[in-house]
Amino acid sequence: MPNVKEDVDIEKLYKTQSSLDKQKFLEEFKINQNGLTTAEAKERINKYGLNEVKQSKPKKWYKYFLESLFSPFNSILLAIAAVLLYTDVYLAESPNYANIIVILILVASSTLLEFFEEYNSNKAAQKLKELVATTATVLRNGKEVSVPIKQITVGDIVMLSAGSLIPADLRVLDSKDLYVGQSSLTGESDAVKKVVELGDSYDENEISKKDSPLNIDSISDLDNICFMGTNVISGSAKCAVIKTADDTYFGKVAHTIPSSKPKSAFQRGIESISKLLIRFMLILIPIVFIFNVSKHSIITAFTFAVAIAICITPLLLPVILSSSLSKGAIRMSKKKTIVKKLDSIQSFGSINILCTDKTGTLTEDKIVLEKYLDIYGEEDFRILKHAFLNSYFQTGLRGNIDEAVVNRAFENNMKEYVDKYKLVDEIPFDFSRRRLSVIVTDSTKKQLITKGAVEEILSICTMVDYKGEVSPITKEIKDNIKQISKKLNEDGLRVIAVCQKNDIANVSKFSIKDEKNMVLLGFIGFLDPPKKSAKVAIEKLNNAGIRVIVLTGDNLEVTKCICSKVGINSDIIVEGSQIEKLSDNGVLRLLKKCNIFVKLSPIQKARIVRLLHEANNVVGYMGDGINDAPSLINSDVGISVDTAVDIAKESADIILLKKDLNVLLDGVYERKKNLCKFNEIY
């Protein structure tokens, strides 16, 4: 991730749109809250262009062709053909085109093989982008309509709801409990609350926005602006489009990412051979010419010298390389892998270090509810029931945790509670409280049920419920609960506590203030289980000479548990805060003995990949967010997945249709096959 303050001037980009109050903003930028008309939208699209970030646009076909044509070896052959054109045609008494035709056929074969393979692979990668949601809801002619994201323009009114992809940079006009996930831009896992006026989300206990000037140093300071490429976690909002395409923060960040990767070991090898051949030619041609010019005519001596140069040039090598790599790419495509750049197959198979995340690669990326325990760690279906009522009746975006709770409850025949209970009100989740409450009622009573982080739930509970008996909470009980929670974390489970309150019959309007004097019921534990194939795959990768390094933003306990189960040495684990203080040499020393790095920022991930690459390793990196783009570029071979953001797929060399380490083993085997064939032929 680029240095925002240095590369993108946040204050200059957004100060005016964010600092004006809603009414002045509408007047200043002539925003119609009923949206644009069809004619106005068409006129603005013609003025501002389509809402497409330049870096994520596909390259033209002729760019692929030119890159293939002027590869190092082809360039040498074309130079020889030019010399032959002069000696065999222009200077000769009877022109001879035979050698020139042979060389041009070889160049054409090599070029077309590489061009068609890379062009078709990138075309396939482009089609993957069309599979993701590409529409948004806007007001046109006063009515809500769904339009393609690229047709959204400045002045459009966009309607957001839970799960919406934010299609451009937006100023919030109206919102209700709007929380946005900005991890694709910032790498931070916590959602951010978005409000109508800048500073309205400040805590009452914090310094009033009226008493101190607003500092805008990063996008985290703009709580009334939603950024292109992020997504709505919960809540709803009505927003105005203020920037599109390359003018957005997303577009600015895309332009700070280098457009080309550093040269891979394979490319450096090809260039090294090419330079060696050129040096031989520059030395041999004059020497041979000088020795022969005294005995023969100048033309004959020069022609002979050029013939010597042709003899030392491996004319078939470009064709052999292109055909071998093309066949490898075709075989990889049958194994759910798109090879965007043929050269990357060699690097793919030569990887000696693979940097990967934990979720989805080592784990199933599917959270499962494993435990529902009372305050003493004993299984209790009442805990599952209350957690189910909370998860089922909450109206925000139902995340993986809620889905896991609902699925487990249905497995235990709790579907009857859907008709038995009704939702009265809700206190939505936010990341300062780290809890969510619903108020439900049946025919007999009204209940406030809350679930959230263990520490946060303990802070609002004064009583505990054990087997139906309610008693005051004690320090011993709290310590025991914390100990059980820590033990579950060490077993790889994420823990959430559940509490409730019944004395709310006289309350008509609920708020955060009602989350007090509650009764603790117990807690639930979730597991994102390791993939069954992960342990075997890592063992095979290690046997193939590939070291696996885990780079994750997750916490230490859960990561240690998962890595231990899949066979990655977890004796030494380093946190991001530790490497932040170290020099590059210090980090390299850690990399020699540590395979697991936790709580890393995107910048720290990119730094680790860069250092490994500079230490003469062939480094593969798996990533799927815009914050992974620098690491994908720093690596020898960037590996992404079909569900990744566009810029991650653009920065990657290889796209997996299945996020599985076993695909990397296929790459190693393909590389060995290509080497064997190459050695047999040449």
Positions marked catalytic? 357
Which tokens go with 286?
Answer: 């004059």
Which tokens go with 439?
Answer: 């108020």
**Which three-class secondary structure state does DSSP give residue 242?**
strand
- Rounded distance, CA 498 to CA 486, Å? 16
Q: What are the backbone angles phi and psi of residue 616, rounded to the nearest 5°? A: 65, 30
What sections of 70-194 are H helices per DSSP?
A: 72-84, 98-131, 183-186
| Neighbour tally for 535: CB within 10 Å | 16
DSSP element (H, E) containing 338: strand 337-339
Cα 458 to Cα 16, 455, 518, 523, 526, distances in angstroms: 43, 5, 9, 11, 19
- Rounded distance, CA 594 to CA 582, Å? 15
Contact 335, 663 (CB under 8 A): yes
Q: From 118, 62, 671, 77, select the one nearest 319 (Cα to Cα).
A: 77
DSSP element (H, E) containing 499: strand 493-501
Q: From 267, 299, 131, select the one nearest 643 (Cα to Cα).
A: 131
- Rounded distance, CA 578 to CA 587, Å? 9
Q: Helices (H), strands (E): how many in the chain?
A: 26, 23
Sequence-distant (6+) residues with CB within 8 A of 616 are: none
**Which three-class secondary structure state does DSSP give residue 241?**
strand
Residue for token digits 């931070």? 188
Reported as half-sphere exposure (CB side, CA atoms, 13 A), residue 664 has a value of: 36
| Neighbour tally for 82: CB within 10 Å | 11
| Neighbour tally for 594: CB within 10 Å | 19
**Which three-class secondary structure state does DSSP give residue 567?**
coil
- Rounded distance, CA 485 to CA 477, Å? 12
CA angle (22, 425, 196) in 5-degree steps: 10
Sequence-distant (6+) residues with CB within 8 A of 401 are: 367, 391, 494, 496, 526
The region, left, alpha or beta by phi > 0 then psi within -120 to 50, assigned to residue 343 is: alpha
- Rounded distance, CA 538 to CA 526, Å? 24
Sequence-distant (6+) residues with CB within 8 A of 50 are: 150, 151, 245
Residue for token digits 């009204």? 446
Sequence-distant (6+) residues with CB within 8 A of 625 are: 183, 184, 187, 602, 644, 645, 648
Q: From 360, 404, 361, 385, select the one nearest 494 (Cα to Cα).
A: 404
